[in-house]
Structure 1
Amino acid sequence: MSRFYHVEPSLDNYWRSIILFGNNVASYKFALACSLYELANSSNDFISLEQLAVPFSRHICEHLKDAPKQTTAKSSRFLATCTDFNLGKVDQDYLCTQTVRLGFQNVIDAFHNVNHREVGERFFMDERKTTNKGIRLTDNFYTLMASQAINSIKPETNARWRLVESAWQLGLSRNLVRVEHDHDSKQLFTRLNERRVNITSSRDSLNGYQKGRCFYCFGHITIESGKSDLADVDHFFPWVIREHVPGINGIWNLILACRSCNRGENGKFTQLPHIDYLYRLHARNEYFINSHLPIRETLMQQTGKTEALRRAFLQGSYNQAKVQLLHSWKKPEPRGLMNF
């Protein structure tokens, strides 16, 4: 059984792997990605560290206002400078100078690394050892920026950043981190001392893991509001049987689907998906677990600490759902698209 990341090794998939699965010991990777989005229209493919420092430091400073913890390290001179800037203790010039000195020490080196190896395509080259000192954007980056996928990738980046920093900000044991879904607002949230803390849009968080495809038919979907192909946030096990399936509002049970599959003519609606889709859900959840904090910890709490326990949980849930709903639904799949 293949997984999502075996599908379509395209540039947007490589980029999403970096954002979703790169090591998260600080939020600098997200700030660098957001900065590159802004600099894509630069007249030169060479970006000096001084140029990069402006949006990079701004993104970090903006996030520090809402989430003071942006790294797992006990201290950071760079983040201390950003905090001082927010407090008005240092000016913009000093902030940018310190960003050039301290802000890029690890993130440029590690940006393309996923699971201790470099991904198959590069989006910039490191030219900090040259006279000019900076990075050079590659054709891959410009191709990505010209693609339709970038309209979804940008909010996905911010959603992933919010998820990671929310887990750090809680300061809780990983075993206590729990991310939940609000059925009405379609928001992911967590709880701190019984207080609800909103994190980000469920659509924005889930879309990267499905590579912008419908879970059922693999057709293209988007997370752009107002678009005709805006994805539905769907409960794999329908919401109507929430009293019979434990934790039905958990991330493990949330998928993105096109409107046709979810509520179009001959759509799923409140029917139980065919058991073939259950294998796909299991593969998707195992893929989620590779993204680590906080989704990994949440899924393991909700469905089991081992792959065998998680598989058994899904089978048990399916058995319960089948008793309640009786019939199952399956949409004919066009040939030659993709397999999970």
Structure 2
Amino acid sequence: MGLDLSHWEQSARSSWRMAVLIGANSRTYKFALGSALLDAAAEGRSEILLRDLAVPYAMELVRHLGQAPQVSQKGELGEKDFLSVAEREAAESLRLGSPTEELLAAAIDSMPRMVMQKFHNLRGEGAEVPHRFYEVTGRSHERVVRLSKELRDIAGSEQAATLRGELSARWSIVETSFAIGIGQSLIREGVVVDLTTLQITDRQRRRSVAGVTDAVIGFQRGLCLICAESITPNDDIAVDHVFPYSFMRLLRSGDQDTPLDLDAVWNLAPTHARCNGQKSNRPPTREEMTRLAQRNEAIMQSPVPLKKTLELTLKHNKHSSTRPGEWHRFIQHVHDLL
């Protein structure tokens, strides 16, 4: 399935979300770079030495290495691979509170020819986000990273904290896919939602992965699914069952005996708490169904495991396939069962 970007606005904020949420993830380098870029831009800087940017980049990766794999476990890392260096230098770097000389040198060497070349790329040959957030100039250790106005605007916007939350959640989700291995367990089960904590949970390891809101709100472009207005960090947020849970007894997957799971990711959406309270127990409007379908189609453009989880919802319903546009048909089917 090729990338369908029709759901995304042509704004710098959407370009950032595309890079973070739907770019390919063979490693987690882009999340560490994104975090370092947001920090530098939030200071109002228009440029930063590569050496200085490499410090938070390397330290973020070192911290995450202690939690989960930062690369797919399909291949072995060479001794000089950056992650191999990071693993060797992790303990001392954490003790110092800054990268060791060896780790810093490895980061400075690898960043321009790896993650910084690929950060703007999307899956598909030659596909890139519409906006660029930096350029690298100079040579060797004197390289300078020039931060674009678009990046500075994003880092200084009211949604900066939301974007950071999305990045952190996506990082954790990708780590989980590496830790599980994209094997039979994930293919059979995907991830589930703990409604008590509103956390997405890895079934195999019984471990919380990320909050539902941070994990999916970027695919809604930061908008409330009910009113379609922005959700800001100052807003009270609720996670809405778009098709109310009380309808579970009415919904059957075709003529099967197993009811559709309304507690799954596909039917949960961040909203303003006030909108959620006003919606109460009513079924979704036509507009809300369209937004939910568009959100789910956007998630289907992302790498596993959220994509796999939504695919499983469709495949477990005999009326559905995973072809593009299927979420619109599936959601209409659910509505027709009411």
Name the CA distance, whole Å, in 1 between partners of 2:245 and 2:5.
25
State which drifts further: 292-301 or 253-262. 253-262
The structural deviation recorded for 1:63 is: 0.7
The structural deviation recorded for 1:17 is: 1.0
The structural deviation recorded for 1:310 is: 4.6
1:67-89, CA deviations, whole angstroms, 9 ceiling, x for partnerless residues?
Answer: 03434662341111111122449
Percentage identity across paired residues of the two chains: 27
5 Å-filtered alignment, 1:209-288, equals 209-222=219-232, 224=233, 227=234, 229-245=235-251, 246-263=260-277, 267-288=278-299
Contact 2:46 2:147 in 1 (8 A): yes
The structural deviation recorded for 1:277 is: 2.9
Q: Secondary structure at the match of 2:60?
A: helix
Gaps of 5+ in 2: 252-259, 316-320
Matched, 1:86 2:90: yes
Name the CA distance, whole Å, in 2 between partners of 1:312 and 1:40.
42
2:133 alignment partner, one of 88, 107, 123: 123
Contact 2:93 2:100 in 1 (8 A): no
The structural deviation recorded for 1:128 is: 4.9
2:29 alignment counterpart: 28
Name the CA distance, whole Å, in 2 between partners of 1:26 and 1:38.
21
Matched, 1:318 2:324: no
Structure 1 residues 47 and 72: CA distance shift in structure 2, 3 A = farther
2:304 alignment partner, one of 289, 293, 298: 293
Q: State the AA in 2 paired with 1:248.
A: L
State which drifts further: 79-88 or 157-166. 79-88
Q: Secondary structure at the match of 2:208?
A: strand
Q: Secondary structure at the match of 2:135?
A: strand
Gaps of 5+ in 1: 323-340
Q: Secondary structure at the match of 1:200?
A: strand
Name the CA distance, whole Å, in 1 between partners of 2:329 and 2:7.
24
Structure 1 residues 260 and 163: CA distance shift in structure 2, 3 A = same
Name the CA distance, whole Å, in 2 between partners of 1:41 and 1:150.
9
Q: State the AA in 2 paired with 1:134.
A: V
Name the CA distance, whole Å, in 2 between partners of 1:250 and 1:89.
40
Matched, 1:105 2:135: no
2:196 alignment partner, one of 180, 184, 187: 184
The structural deviation recorded for 1:149 is: 1.5
1:306 alignment counterpart: 322
Name the CA distance, whole Å, in 2 between partners of 1:72 and 1:20.
21
Aligned-pair Cα RMSD in Å: 2.5
5 Å-filtered alignment, 1:50-61, equals 50-61=51-62
**TM-score, length-normalised on structure 1?**
0.83
2:257 alignment counterpart: none
Structure 1 residues 243 and 122: CA distance shift in structure 2, 3 A = same
1:336 alignment counterpart: none
Name the CA distance, whole Å, in 2 between partners of 1:131 and 1:81.
19
1:228-263, CA deviations, whole angstroms, 9 ceiling, x for partnerless residues?
Answer: x22211111112233444121111111122223210
1:70 alignment counterpart: 71
Name the CA distance, whole Å, in 1 between partners of 2:64 and 2:93.
18
Structure 1 residues 79 and 181: CA distance shift in structure 2, 3 A = same
1:27-75, CA deviations, whole angstroms, 9 ceiling, x for partnerless residues?
Answer: 0000000111222255753322211211011010111101034346623
Contact 1:25 1:73 in 2 (8 A): no
Q: State the AA in 1 paired with 2:39.
A: E
Q: Secondary structure at the match of 2:227?
A: coil
Name the CA distance, whole Å, in 2 between partners of 1:7 and 1:34.
22
Name the CA distance, whole Å, in 1 between partners of 2:73 and 2:60.
18
Contact 1:233 1:254 in 2 (8 A): yes
Q: Secondary structure at the match of 2:236?
A: coil
Contact 1:167 1:177 in 2 (8 A): no
1:333 alignment counterpart: none
Q: Secondary structure at the match of 1:40?
A: helix
Q: Secondary structure at the match of 2:239?
A: strand
